[in-house]
Structure 1
Amino acid sequence: MTAPSSSSPVGWYRMAWPALRHLDPETAHGLALRLLRLGLVPPAGGPDLPSLHVTAMGLSFANPIGVAAGFDKNALVAHRLHWLGFGFGEVGGVTPKPQSGNPRPRLFRLDGDFAAINRMGFNNEGEAAVAARVRAARRPDFPLGVNLASNTDSDQPAEDFVRLVQCFAPIADYLTIDVSCPNTKNGRMFQDPLRLDDLLRRLLAARDRLRTPMLVKLASDLSEAEALAIAEVTLRHGFAGLVVANTSAARPSSLTSATQAERGGLSGRPIFVASTALLAAIRRAVGPAPTLVGVGGVFNGADAYGKIRAGANLVQLYTALVFRGPPVVGAIKQELAALLAQDGFASVQDAVGDGRLTSD
């Protein structure tokens, strides 16, 4: 696969990357979190230009670039994410009870494809531990969301989501209902529109009088018709919008890495085009009002711009951190601001849904 523009490690990360890439991917990820938690990763985000400011879901974002769920499952570094230049963060997925997830190895780098495969299985410390850290990390200038999931062994997965909404709605800036994980027994059962309809009714009741925005996260493998059916149910219940999209169980023929046959969800560059096309289809169908968060294959400013032009109000990334390191966030912001100015857009919001897609 052709390398995405500016895909090499950035800045000080060039020194750390050769060492980190020789570690087991999950070990390297854990080390990165420990360094960040201890404050040993220097601020790398750069300034937030006025053109990058976004208002969505009734929240104010200094810039539209956020870290996707999965990077900080236990909210260990939620209080540090703003250091890296993100405009918002999403921690989790969190389940009511702690769970260990799937056996290791369960995270694989696809170096030649700028991609990763994971079958983590929602390993996390459970709602009590994560909630305590979310309370401590929350700050008025940095929206913090929580990704919610059902325990793998739960025989009442809808009740898991109800419990989590009751726990996190009072303390998070927004919630994401993750019904699109390919790696657990209950991960995708609520992609059925009838089941989802019942679940969302219950979650609105669980949120009670709070106005915490809620999103539904879609799988990237859905057909356009399936995705639009889920979008219709989600928005009919008054949810704020959708996250498009989660990792993919598909394996494109373009993959070259030896680990491509590993079971799990594919993320990174190979899913950019399909996830962006799905995002564009949903934006055309739902109109300008709902919030859409574009995720999947964002490595540089042009990728983020492509998501925004396709209809995203906000953009998330994770795999780019693996290949380019924390300085990628500042680089994306700088490139995105330049692209907006080049095309005559005064702000991100002016460019949302303009309609042209970028591709490899």
Structure 2
Amino acid sequence: MAAYIRSRIFGGGRNTLVLSSAFLISIFNPDDYANIRSTSLYHLLSDSYITPLLCQILDGEQAHKFAIQAVKYAGVRDGPSAGYRPLHTPYLCTTLKGCNGRTLFLRNPILLSAGFDKDADSIIPLLASGFGGVEIGSVTPLPQPGNPKPRVFRLNEDNGVINRYGFNSSGLATVKSNLVKSYEGLDFVKKYHDLGDDEVGIIGVNFGKNTQSSDATADYVKGIKTLGPLSSYIVINVSCPNIKNLTKLQNDLKPLLEECSKARDEVCKEKMMFVKVGPDLSEDGIRDISNVILNSSVDGIIVSNTSSKLRETLTSEFKNEKGGLSGRPIRDISTKSIREFRKYLGGEVPIIGVGGVEDTASALEKLEAGASAVQIYTGLTYGGLGIVSKIKEGLVEECTKRGVANVSELVGKSLK
């Protein structure tokens, strides 16, 4: 009933995963915020009732802006360490292996996708919410407003979202300042809770190009040289359908990735670099991109971005809006793309799976198709922030049921 009310009556706000958290804190101001937020009652109230109510009041983009402020507020109410309770279990810890000995340790394989915290405003409380990592961006060299409004549309009947933000970004200088402050806060968290570096979660930086830029390669290189040293991993986003001609970069990746690799090796040689691709590629396109990656020093791939297609099965009144489609409607095509990339990459390159992850079943589906980790964004709209812990608990149960010691043993199982 709660889910029905949330998705059918109120609708979900794509960017409101923490509205309810901040709302509850502002009302009750609990002394033990960490314990309060870990209870099932807390998630029932926040995910099923308060967030949907606020979503009724705010449109998608208003909710996004409000949510950024809400999550920042939730993180500083009782100091930078408020609510920091990382779930650290051997079942979920996993290590992605890239080229030349580069590795990326994840305390768990559930990551927040780029798009929510574009400017690194709220990293600490997001990591405190249980994600194994937070990916910020896409970040462009110069500040830019993005596309004209309205540009975010909730597809409540389809459990999806269409957005055409268009790389709205505060630019490298502002994001760099925010990242420095975030790491200062994380240092405080580690000391306060006596945590190791591998327990606080990771920060990925997703790079894009300025809309009016005539030299995309130079934009990516500048981003890497500026923020690469402050990242846990780097993402080259060449698949956003809301930037004119950006997806064409997928057709000729080799020169771009060569220059990006040189920049990475110059300033942060130990950091893994991923390329993010879209779900609308043909099998020939997947094969060609796989060949480029296998013959480069790219360490991994993120599959997939939003889709500019797949409108024929939608029922929402907004189904024909231009932009990138995300959420449940792209679940199958994203999983199919993961499976095909796994086939051509031969398991040598780690894949992060995105698209329609909303529960344990959908996360497991992508892991079994060949993804080593998954990212969530739109799924939070219709399931609330509580799905993060639910998915992790479900994966642990799946590991114990199958008699495996670690979630990495489930990767690619459906291909065997």
| CA–CA separation in structure 2 for the residues paired with 1:271 and 1:158 | 29
- Deviations 1:101-144 (CA, angstroms, capped at 9, x unpaired): 00111011100111000000000100111112223324533111
Answering whether residue 228 of structure 2 is matched by residue 169 of structure 1, we say: yes
The 1:174–1:7 alpha-carbon spacing in structure 2 relative to 1, beyond 3 Å, is farther
Q: 1:51 is matched by which residue type in structure 2?
A: Y
The 1:64–1:164 alpha-carbon spacing in structure 2 relative to 1, beyond 3 Å, is same
Q: 1:21 is matched by which residue type in structure 2?
A: C
The 1:46–1:169 alpha-carbon spacing in structure 2 relative to 1, beyond 3 Å, is closer
| CA–CA separation in structure 1 for the residues paired with 2:258 and 2:133 | 27
Q: Which residue of 2 aligns with 1:16?
A: 50
| CA–CA separation in structure 2 for the residues paired with 1:135 and 1:292 | 28
| CA–CA separation in structure 1 for the residues paired with 2:139 and 2:239 | 14
Q: Is the 8 A contact 1:306 1:356 kept in 2?
A: no
Q: 1:53 is matched by which residue type in structure 2?
A: C
Q: 1:90 is matched by which residue type in structure 2?
A: E
Q: Which residue of 2 aligns with 1:50?
A: 90
Task: Tell me how far 1:259 sits from its aligned partner.
Answer: 0.7
Q: What RMSD in Å do the two structures reach over aligned CA positions?
A: 2.2
Q: Is the 8 A contact 2:209 2:216 kept in 1?
A: yes
Task: Tell me how far 1:186 sits from its aligned partner.
Answer: 4.0
Q: 1:155 is matched by which residue type in structure 2?
A: S
Answering whether residue 241 of structure 2 is matched by residue 207 of structure 1, we say: no
Q: Is the 8 A contact 2:86 2:128 kept in 1?
A: no
| CA–CA separation in structure 2 for the residues paired with 1:188 and 1:284 | 22
Question: Could you say what secondary structure the match of 2:138 adopts?
Answer: strand
Q: 1:116 is matched by which residue type in structure 2?
A: V
Q: Which residue of 1 aligns with 2:153?
A: 108
Q: Which residue of 1 aligns with 2:363?
A: 304
| CA–CA separation in structure 2 for the residues paired with 1:7 and 1:228 | 38
| CA–CA separation in structure 1 for the residues paired with 2:173 and 2:155 | 34
Q: Is the 8 A contact 1:158 1:199 kept in 2?
A: yes
Q: Which residue of 1 aligns with 2:278?
A: 219
Task: Tell me how far 1:45 sits from its aligned partner.
Answer: 7.5
Aligned identity (percent) is 38
Q: Is the 8 A contact 2:286 2:340 kept in 1?
A: no
Task: Tell me how far 1:43 sits from its aligned partner.
Answer: 4.6
Task: Tell me how far 1:29 sits from its aligned partner.
Answer: 1.7
Residue segments in structure 2 that go unaligned for 5+ positions in a row: 13-42, 98-102, 187-196
Q: 2:50 is matched by which residue type in structure 1?
A: A
Residue 121 of structure 1, aligned match among 147, 155, 166: 166
Q: 1:205 is matched by which residue type in structure 2?
A: K
Q: Which residue of 1 aligns with 2:29?
A: none
Q: Is the 8 A contact 1:93 1:148 kept in 2?
A: yes
Question: Could you say what secondary structure the match of 1:38 adopts?
Answer: helix
| CA–CA separation in structure 2 for the residues paired with 1:71 and 1:52 | 24
| CA–CA separation in structure 1 for the residues paired with 2:285 and 2:85 | 37
| CA–CA separation in structure 2 for the residues paired with 1:257 and 1:217 | 28
Q: 1:232 is matched by which residue type in structure 2?
A: N
Within-5 A mapping of 1:190-269: 190-193=249-252, 196-209=253-266, 210-269=269-328
Task: Tell me how far 1:350 sits from its aligned partner.
Answer: 0.7
Answering whether residue 142 of structure 2 is matched by residue 97 of structure 1, we say: yes
Q: 2:262 is matched by which residue type in structure 1?
A: A
| CA–CA separation in structure 2 for the residues paired with 1:7 and 1:348 | 31
Task: Tell me how far 1:83 sits from its aligned partner.
Answer: 1.3
Q: 1:89 is matched by which residue type in structure 2?
A: V
Q: Is the 8 A contact 1:74 1:94 kept in 2?
A: yes
Q: Is the 8 A contact 2:274 2:301 kept in 1?
A: yes
Q: Is the 8 A contact 1:44 1:330 kept in 2?
A: no
Q: 1:80 is matched by which residue type in structure 2?
A: P
| CA–CA separation in structure 1 for the residues paired with 2:301 and 2:283 | 14
Q: Is the 8 A contact 1:251 1:260 kept in 2?
A: no
Q: 1:55 is matched by which residue type in structure 2?
A: T
Q: Is the 8 A contact 2:310 2:330 kept in 1?
A: no
Within-5 A mapping of 1:181-192: 181-192=240-251
The 1:356–1:31 alpha-carbon spacing in structure 2 relative to 1, beyond 3 Å, is farther
Answering whether residue 397 of structure 2 is matched by residue 338 of structure 1, we say: yes
| CA–CA separation in structure 2 for the residues paired with 1:60 and 1:211 | 13
Within-5 A mapping of 1:34-49: 34-39=69-74, 43=83, 47-49=87-89
Q: 1:79 is matched by which residue type in structure 2?
A: I
Residue segments in structure 1 that go unaligned for 5+ positions in a row: none
- Deviations 1:28-68 (CA, angstroms, capped at 9, x unpaired): 12211111101169859773432111111412111000000
Residue 290 of structure 1, aligned match among 336, 349, 371: 349
| CA–CA separation in structure 2 for the residues paired with 1:158 and 1:321 | 33
For normalisation by structure 1, the TM-score amounts to 0.92
Q: Is the 8 A contact 1:45 1:330 kept in 2?
A: no
Q: Which residue of 2 aligns with 1:318?
A: 377
Task: Tell me how far 1:235 sits from its aligned partner.
Answer: 2.8
Alignment coverage as a number of residue pairs: 352
Task: Tell me how far 1:14 sits from its aligned partner.
Answer: 2.0
